[in-house]
Amino acid sequence: MLIAGNWKMNTAAGEARDLARAVASSVRDMETVDVAVCPPFVHLVEVSAELRGSHVRLGAQNMHSANAGAFTGEVSARMLKSVGCHYVIIGHSERRQYFGETDIGVNVKVRQALDHGLLPIVCVGELLEERQAGREKEVVSEQVRGALAGMDAIQPGSLVVAYEPVWAIGTGETATPATAQDMHRFVRSLLREVQGADSALILYGGSMKPGNARALLQQPDIDGGLIGGASLRADTFAAIVAAAAEEA
């Protein structure tokens, strides 16, 4: 099980430090669960220092696809690795929606992350209107195939996919455990087809909270959660990690 917190564009320096310290302390007895926090870039170094000695790993929320160069304002995989990142979120729906990220761009970033020893958390998920039109599997299939197109088999344990229905992100609306499980089973079979092996953890994301985490994490094809809002407080985040520990 992996529970990863995506802090998005929240927390100023002191807040990030306090949150990291509180998370590390709240989950210290839950070592059967892999835990990660993904703070904004500017806090990575400080949060990394706060996490030293704990089993909570560091992740970034995005990265650029090039090695280095004239890309003002961007951050490379090498930079992330150098400050202690283990994970990097790629293709979050907010990146797709507000910053024009495409499956082709996601594919290049996944390759770059893997080349630098970062573990990509690749986000996929359909919009509400796509689900209403019955196209959710078609959309997710296109995103998963696009993200991994042309890649050799990825070493088992080197890839994470997060299924995040866009209509459930930050809305308080969660996919039912059965709906999420149905998509997770589909994604797992897709990954087997595309990669030829069971190579990835599949996380659920979309308004996961202490009250609904257990039922979601009990599903056979849900291997953890990507948590937005509920990761901004150590107590709610730790409660989700505790729910995962019950299932681990």
The residues binding ligand PEP (CB under 6 A) are 6, 164, 169-170, 205-208, 226-230
**Could you give the CA distance from residue 87 to residue 66 in angstroms, rounded to a whole number?**
17
Q: Which is nearer to ligand PEP, 28 or 233 (CB)?
A: 233
Residue 110 half-sphere exposure, CB side, CA atoms within 13 Å? 28
Is the CB of residue 240 less than 8 Å from the CB of residue 26? no
Is the CB of residue 38 less than 8 Å from the CB of residue 9? no
CB of 1 to ligand PEP, least distance (A): 16
Q: Which is nearer to ligand PEP, 33 or 208 (CB)?
A: 208
**Bridge partners of 58?**
37, 85
CB of 247 to ligand PEP, least distance (A): 18
CB of 38 to ligand PEP, least distance (A): 9
CB of 211 to ligand PEP, least distance (A): 13
Q: Which residues 6+ apart lie within 8 Å of 27 measured at CB?
A: 33, 35, 54, 55, 56, 237, 238, 241
Q: Which is nearer to ligand PEP, 125 or 195 (CB)?
A: 125
Q: Which is nearer to ligand PEP, 146 or 228 (CB)?
A: 228
**Could you give the CA distance from residue 166 to residue 163 in angstroms, rounded to a whole number?**
9
Q: Which is nearer to ligand PEP, 120 or 205 (CB)?
A: 205
Our answer to whether residue 86 is catalytic in this structure is no
Residue number of the CB atom closest to ligand PEP: 228
Is the CB of residue 5 less than 8 Å from the CB of residue 37? yes
Question: Which residue among 43, 50, 64, 92 is the active-site one?
Answer: 92
CB of 228 to ligand PEP, least distance (A): 2
Our answer to whether residue 184 is catalytic in this structure is no
Query: Phi/psi at 244 (nearest 5 deg)?
Result: -65, -35
**Bridge partners of 37?**
5, 58
Is the CB of residue 39 less than 8 Å from the CB of residue 88? no
Is the CB of residue 235 less than 8 Å from the CB of residue 173? no
Is 237 strand, coil or helix?
helix
Question: Which residue among 50, 130, 164, 184 is the active-site one?
Answer: 164
Just list the catalytic residues: 92, 164
